[in-house]
Each structure stands twice: as C-alpha cells, then as structure tokens.
C-alpha cells in the first residue's frame, strides 16, 4: 500500500505516553508495515536498521513489544494494520469487478446499437443503387449529332429534368407523330428552350403555314385510309406534299 487512512485523534489517544523517539519509531514502523503489507522481521536490530534508527534499537524494541505481536515463523504483526490492508484489497477487488461489469455493459450496448444501423445502411445503399441506375445519364442516341445532344442535355439540366430513358422514348414517339427525326426534334427543343417535345406543338405551327388546299388533301387522304391518323402517322411532309415512307420507294399521296 502506498496510502492508508490515518486517524489523528485515535493515534494520539494511544501514543500520548511515547517519547519523541518512540513516536518517530512507531510512525516509521507503521509506514514500513503498510508499504510491504507483511509482518516485520523477528529481529528488532534488523527492524531498527530498516527504519534507519540503528542508534535507537531499544526504543524500537519497546514499541514493537507494545504495539505489535510476535508470531513465531512470521514476525512482528499489527492486527489493526492487517485489517486496514484487508479492507484495501477488498475495495480493489470490488472496483475491478465493477469496472469489468461496466465495460461489458458498454460493449453489449454498442453491439445492440450498431446492428440496426448496419441494416439501415444496407437499405440506403440498395435504394441509392436503384436511383443511380434509373437516373444514369444516357449516351447520345443514334442519328443525333453530338452538338445537338449536348445542347439538349444542357436545356434539361437547366430545367432540373434528368435525361432518362423514359423521357427520350416519349420525345422520340412524339417526333414520329410529327413526322420529324429525333435529331430535328431535339434541335427544335434547343432552339425553343423546351425540355420535352410534343407533336401538337409543331403540327399547329405547320398547319398554320399550309394552304387550305393542302389541309383538305390530308383530310381526304386520311378519310380514305391513304394516310394514318395523327397519332399513328409515320410519313414525311416534303415541301407541302405528303409522302408515304413505309415502302422502299416514296409514293406521293396528294
């Protein structure tokens, strides 16, 4: 032990009769006993040397006989000091057990807390994977010039509209309705700042530029089944005349 409780009142009441040398010897004997936690040597001369009081061996011997008990085979024993030493070790053991129990509780708590977080992180990773796959940027479609594609993607980005496969399929479908190529439709989107494309938007402009004769021709052709309806139209309008592009050779319809 490097520390022990010292009751001043109790000590004075038991040592008031000691001389200064005897009092000093007793204090040094107690320090030596607590430090090594074992009985003192049976030989008083050896004990006097251990506490650096060689010239006061008689006083050391007197203190040993009054406050210590000589146990054969062990040495000089102090019962009160043995009790304090036992209490000290009991406190150490209790503190050690409490520390281990506390560490185990913290470890179990961390294990319980971490498992749900791992599951949540796994779910988030799966969701992010699905989202990233769905919104993965598309490459330039066939038949569309890189310049037009770059301009169109910038328009979509400015309007915070990702260029998805579904969006491009819709634009391509509307372009076919209008009789436009996908490159022409995307070019029109760039020119007008459109994020999407509808056949009705351009057909309205085209119809406004047609003569009444041309409009009548298209209506007659559709009524006779020579032209499909607008939502099925696959042909091409060239210089105001209507051609069927389904056959290998273009055929004038009106």
Q: How far apart (Å, rounded) are the C-alpha atoms in residues 17 and 19?
A: 7
Distance in angstroms (rounded) separating the CA atoms of residues 114 and 140:
45
- Flag whether pLDDT at 148 surpasses 60: yes
CA distances from 245 to 58, 176, 214, 253 (A): 132, 12, 19, 11
Instruction: Say if residue 248's pLDDT is above 90.
Output: no
**Interatomic CA distance for residues 22 and 58, integer angstroms:** 9
User: What is the average per-residue pLDDT within 161-188?
Assistant: 91
Are 186 and 152 in contact by the 8 Å Cβ rule? The answer is: yes
State the pLDDT at residue 68: 96
The gap from C-alpha 161 to its chain's centroid, in whole angstroms, comes to: 30
Least confident span in 81-95, 121-135, 232-246: 232-246
Confidence label for 1 from pLDDT (cuts 50, 70 and 90): confident
* CA–centroid distance for 130 within its chain: 20
The answer to whether the beta carbons of residues 179 and 235 sit under 8 Å apart is yes
Give the model's pLDDT for residue 2.
Answer: 80
pLDDT value, residue 134:
53
Q: Tell me if 109 sits within 8 A of 97, measured CB to CB.
A: no
Q: In whole numbers, what is the pLDDT of the chain averaged over residues?
A: 80
Mean pLDDT comparison of 115-129, 134-148, 166-180, highest-scoring range: 166-180
pLDDT at residue number 241: 44
Whole-number Å distance between alpha carbons of 41 and 76:
6
Q: pLDDT tens-digit profile of 212-230? A: 666 666 666 666 665 555 5
Considering the chain, what percentage of its residues have pLDDT values greater than 70? 70
Q: 129 vs 20, which has greater pLDDT?
A: 20
- The CB density around residue 12, as the number of other CB atoms within 10 Å, is 10
pLDDT band at 210, cuts 50/70/90? Answer: low
Backbone angles phi, psi at 71, to 5 degrees: -105, 120
Structure tokens at 75: 């040495």
Of 99-113, 148-162, 218-232, the one with minimum mean pLDDT is: 218-232
For residue 137, how far is the Cα from the chain centroid? 28
Average pLDDT over residues 175-183: 91
Which residues on adjacent β-strands are paired with residue 69? 77
The tens digit of pLDDT for each residue in 4-21 reads 888 899 899 999 999 999
Mean pLDDT value across residues 39-58 = 95
Candidates 94, 78, 97; CA nearest to 37 is 78
Report the pLDDT value the prediction gives residue 145, as an integer from 0 to 100: 93
Token pair in block for residue 102 = 């506390």
Which of 174, 173, 179, 168 shows the shortest CA–CA distance to 141? 168
Residue 233: predicted pLDDT? 44
In the prediction, which pLDDT does 243 show?
Answer: 43
Task: Give the model's pLDDT for residue 237.
Answer: 41
**Which carries the bigger pLDDT value, residue 106 or residue 123?**
106
């Amino acid at each position: 032990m490097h520390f022990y409780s010292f009751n001043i009142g109790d000590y004075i009441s038991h040592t008031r009769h000691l001389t200064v040398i005897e009092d000093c010897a007793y204090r040094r004997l107690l320090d030596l006993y607590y430090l090594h936690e074992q009985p003192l040597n049976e030989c008083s001369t050896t004990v006097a040397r251990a506490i650096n009081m060689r010239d006061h061996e008689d006083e050391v011997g007197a203190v040993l006989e009054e406050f210590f008990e000589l146990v054969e085979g062990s040495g000089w024993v102090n019962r009160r000091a043995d009790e304090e030493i036992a209490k000290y070790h009991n406190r150490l053991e209790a503190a050690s057990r409490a520390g281990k129990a506390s560490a185990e509780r913290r470890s179990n708590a961390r294990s319980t807390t971490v498992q749900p977080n791992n599951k949540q992180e796994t779910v988030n990773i799966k969701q992010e994977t699905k989202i990233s796959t769905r919104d993965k940027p598309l490459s330039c479609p066939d038949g569309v010039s890189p310049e037009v594609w770059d301009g169109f993607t910038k328009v979509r980005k400015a309007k915070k509209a990702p260029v998805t496969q579904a969006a491009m399929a819709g634009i391509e479908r509307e372009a076919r309705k209008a009789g436009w190529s996908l490159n022409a439709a995307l070019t029109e989107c760039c020119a007008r700042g459109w994020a999407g494309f509808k056949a009705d938007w351009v057909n309205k402009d085209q119809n406004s530029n047609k003569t009444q004769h041309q409009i009548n021709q298209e209506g007659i052709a559709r009524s006779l089944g020579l032209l499909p309806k607008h939502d099925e139209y696959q042909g091409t309008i060239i210089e105001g005349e209507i051609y069927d592009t389904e056959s290998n050779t273009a055929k004038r319809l009106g």
